[in-house]
Amino acid sequence: MARDFHGHDHGHGHHEYVRPALLRRLRHVVATHSHDAAGKVDPAMEGSREGIRALWFSLLVLGATAASQALVAVWSGSVALLGDSLHNVADALTAVPLGVAFVLGRRPANRRYTYGYGRAEDLAGIAIVLTIAASAALAAYAAVDRLVHPAVVTRLPFVAAAGLIGFAGNELVARHRIRVGRRIGSAALVADGLHARTDGFTSLAVLLGAGGVAIGWRWADPLVGLLITVAILFVLKDAAREVYQRLMDAVDPALMTTAEDTLAGTPGVLRVAALRMRWIGHRLHAETDLVVGPNLSLAEAHAIAVDAEHRLLHAVPRLTAATVHPDPAAPHAHASLDHHRHT
């Protein structure tokens, strides 16, 4: 039978003995040991501030990029450039829900939201995915409408220049978002950065449309608009997968391996019985059950839990809280383990 992380037994059918009453009491008295590490909370708060600064930077750069492209699109009649500018506008606007999420995430936990408000970032990730989907629909509609109702595209040199501006602006924002997002552990910000990066390459596609129109292929401009739509859909797939994994509490298996090795190497720990980790916003939380010696005192078991917690907080990046529960081993199991270690 399973045992939860609050220290309650549910049958314990996997043990080959009946736990003595004294050890049962010890287990519940020791229970779980958890506290936020001050040295990790401050960097987590700094991560929120970094995220907000990255979003302001993105909003300003992409806003200026989209505005310049929109003016040229209206002036020239290029539907490919129009689609690209619409996408850049949508990308700039994704900074709004993500910025709100970062601000909310800085609020302290309370009796209703006991883990705090970090999940607001995951909700913002959903909003970003929906925004990307909407921009793809708008770009597709504009391109199909132009194929059905052809129109002349003029001022091609300006269209090409606007495409280059779109690429430069998006790549600058993408690099900044991805770098900051990975540093602070924000999946939503990384997804937003990937979105901006593909926007940059789709901006280069505007050049192809302008070149095609220049040699007399009037259909080249709306065709590039459709290609931009396809590229947006690929970004949508990647961003949706990133946000889905975060919503489902997915953790990099390499982090689990690092945590398990760190806990197992703590003096006094016989075995890591259970380990779970989850993201709450861009902060990582862990819960673990550690098997310790059966004859330890309360103070000795507590000291091992504290040592394991501190080692874990230092070993795992962006881990800000850990709940460590020492669980006394069966006396004969402990003796068997010592025998294997000495032979």
pTM value? 0.65
Which residues face 322 on adjacent strands?
A: 35, 286
CA distance linking residue 99 with residue 105, whole number of Å:
10
pLDDT surpassing 50 at residue 16: no
- Where do the domains of the chain lie? 41-247, 251-342
**274 or 54, which is more confident?**
274
* CATH 3.30.70.1350, applies to 251-342: yes
CB atoms within 10 A of CB 88: 31
Determine whether domain 41-247 maps to CATH 1.10.1060: no
Segment 136-152 shows an average pLDDT of 77
Per-residue pLDDT tens digits for 196-241 = 787 787 787 777 777 777 777 777 777 877 887 887 788 788 888 8
Who has greater pLDDT, 271 or 135?
Answer: 271
Query: What gap in Å lies between CA 296 and CA 26, rounded to an integer?
Result: 9
The string of pLDDT tens digits covering residues 264-319 is: 999 999 999 999 999 887 788 999 999 999 999 999 999 999 999 999 999 998 89
Q: Which residues of 296-321 are buried (b: 16+ CB within 10 A; e: fewer)?
A: beeeebbbbbeebbebbbeebebbbb
